[in-house]
């Protein structure tokens, strides 16, 4: 009798869980953005989630939880209930570079998440304040090498995209700027426009509008090809710095243990969003790269995370980067 009751209870629980997944989502979903509002991760999250919300029939509410190069927000998201109601927008920093820089990182990018899918590729652009006394990459590098620690470089915290690609840049060109941390490259860009910091390496979606508007200078884009959004900005190879080729990405993750049916629903909504003309246009106008269909799957994202951790760990160690 006891066994029967237990079995019935177990069946009841299973039925409730199945029902919950069948009707998911029944309430708004929180997407944690681990940086300040207005920066690239935030912008990509807002663009992509807009159409996802329509597919899911529930609002996706963006919550900015900034700090420690994005690892504060991602730690919080990783530790939340794996019920599909808390997801996050991670990136090459939080899920690629961070393990090399935080010996006590509270999550393993390859083990503690249910990947949903890649949201956008984001080439890296080398930008400086408008008044920077250099006209092209060559004169910029000469200035950096001659003026050493008089120059400031902005970044979004240790392990962020701008920090890791910046550390890599500085090691390649032998620059030793003073590093200035922000809670995201949205606020960093404001200071760049205000001429209070000198330069940064950041994701194209953040800087493209200000480059187009002539409010900051762009010396090069670190990809093999120029971006259609910035046709006048030379590639690093064209500008004479072939050894600096680097690109970043943003992607949606859920906490590990999120039921596969929910992961599938979220991935379906993400894929629909990336195929929506309006979403595409908004991302492309900012220089974002829409991932090809084969790269929009959870399995492809899992592989990308593993290869990025493997790629960045030796690069950052060789550059002598630490969490300090």
Which residues contact ligand ASP by CB under 6 A? Answer: 35, 39-41, 93, 156, 160-162, 184-186, 202-203, 206
Q: How far is the CB of 288 from ligand ASP (least distance, A)?
A: 12
Between residues 162 and 170, which has the closer beta carbon with respect to ligand ASP?
162
* Cβ atoms of 250 and 106 closer than 8 Å: no
Give min distance, CB of 161 to ligand ASP, in A: 3
Contact (Cβ atoms closer than 8 angstroms) between residue 123 and residue 221: yes
Residue 161 or 208 having the CB closest to ligand ASP: 161
Query: Which residue, 24 or 102, is less far from ligand ASP as judged by CB?
Result: 102
Q: Rounded to whole angstroms, how far apart are CA atoms 246 and 224? A: 9
Q: Is 290 helix (H, G, I), strand (E, B) or coil?
A: coil
Shortest CB 268 distance to ligand ASP, Å? 25
Beta carbons within 8 Å of 155's beta carbon, 6+ residues apart: 162, 163, 166, 179, 180, 181, 182, 185, 188, 200
Q: What's the closest the beta carbon of residue 140 comes to ligand ASP, in angstroms?
A: 20
Residue with smaller CB distance to ligand ASP, 186 or 298: 186
User: How many Å apart are CA 236 and CA 270, to the nearest integer?
Assistant: 32
At 66 the three-state DSSP class reads coil
CB of 173 to ligand ASP, least distance (A): 19
- Nearest 5°: the CA angle 124, 127, 132 is 165
* Smaller CB separation from ligand ASP, 56 or 68: 68
Nearest residue (CB) to ligand ASP, 200 versus 300: 200
The smaller minimum CB distance to ligand ASP, of residues 97 and 137, is found at 97
Minimum CB distance to ligand ASP, residue 10 (Å): 44
Give the gyration radius of the chain's Cα atoms: 21
Q: What is the DSSP letter of 294?
A: G
Nearest CB to ligand ASP, comparing residues 56 and 88: 88
Q: Which two tokens stand for residue 314?
A: 């030796």
Residue with the shortest CB distance to ligand ASP: 39
To ligand ASP, the closest distance from the beta carbon of 88 in angstroms equals: 12
The distance from CA 321 to its chain's CA centroid, rounded to whole angstroms, is 20
DSSP tally for the chain: helices H, then strands E: 11, 9
Q: How far is the CB of 45 from ligand ASP (least distance, A)?
A: 9
Give the dihedral of Cα atoms 143, 146, 315, 181; nearest 10 deg.
Answer: -70
Smallest gap from residue 324 Cβ to ligand ASP (A): 18
Residue 12's contacts (CB-CB under 8 Å, 6 or more residues apart) are none
β-sheet bridge partners, residue 202: 125
* Whether the Cβ atoms of residue 281 and residue 117 lie closer than 8 Å to each other: no
Instruction: Name the region of 239 (left: φ>0; alpha: ψ -120 to 50; beta: rest).
Output: alpha
Q: Which residue lies nearer to ligand ASP by CB, 39 or 298?
A: 39
């Amino acid at each position: 009798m006891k066994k029967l009751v237990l079995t019935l209870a177990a069946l009841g629980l299973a039925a409730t869980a199945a029902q919950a997944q069948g009707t998911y989502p029944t309430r708004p979903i929180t997407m944690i953005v681990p940086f300040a509002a207005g920066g690239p991760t935030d912008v990509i999250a807002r663009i992509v989630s807009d159409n996802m919300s329509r597919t899911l029939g529930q609002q996706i509410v963006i919550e900015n939880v900034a700090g420690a190069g994005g690892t504060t927000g991602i730690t919080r998201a990783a530790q939340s209930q794996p019920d599909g109601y808390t997801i996050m927008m991670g990136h090459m920093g939080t899920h690629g570079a961070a393990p090399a820089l935080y010996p006590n990182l509270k999550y393993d990018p390859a083990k503690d998440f249910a990947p949903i899918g890649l949201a956008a590729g984001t080439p890296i652009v080398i930008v400086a304040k408008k008044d920077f006394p250099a006209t092209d990459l060559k004169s910029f590098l000469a200035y950096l090498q001659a003026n050493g620690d008089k120059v400031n470089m902005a970044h979004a915290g240790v392990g962020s995209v701008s920090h890791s690609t910046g550390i890599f840049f500085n090691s390649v060109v032998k620059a030793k700027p003073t590093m200035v941390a922000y809670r995201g490259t949205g606020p960093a860009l404001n200071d760049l426009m205000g001429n209070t910091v000198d330069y940064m390496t950041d994701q194209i979606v953040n800087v493209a509008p200000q480059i187009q508007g002539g409010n900051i200078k762009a010396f090069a884009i670190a990809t093999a090809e120029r971006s259609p959004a910035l046709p006048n900005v030379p590639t690093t190879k064209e500008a004479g710095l072939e050894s600096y080729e680097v690109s970043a990405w943003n992607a949606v993750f859920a906490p590990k243990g999120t039921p596969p049916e929910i992961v599938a629903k979220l991935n379906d909504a993400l894929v629909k969003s990336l195929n929506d003309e309006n979403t595409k246009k908004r991302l492309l106008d900012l220089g974002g790269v829409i991932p090809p269909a084969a790269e929009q799957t959870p399995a492809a994202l899992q592989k990308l995370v593993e290869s990025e951790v493997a790629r960045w760990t030796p690069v950052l160690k060789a550059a002598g980067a630490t969490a300090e």
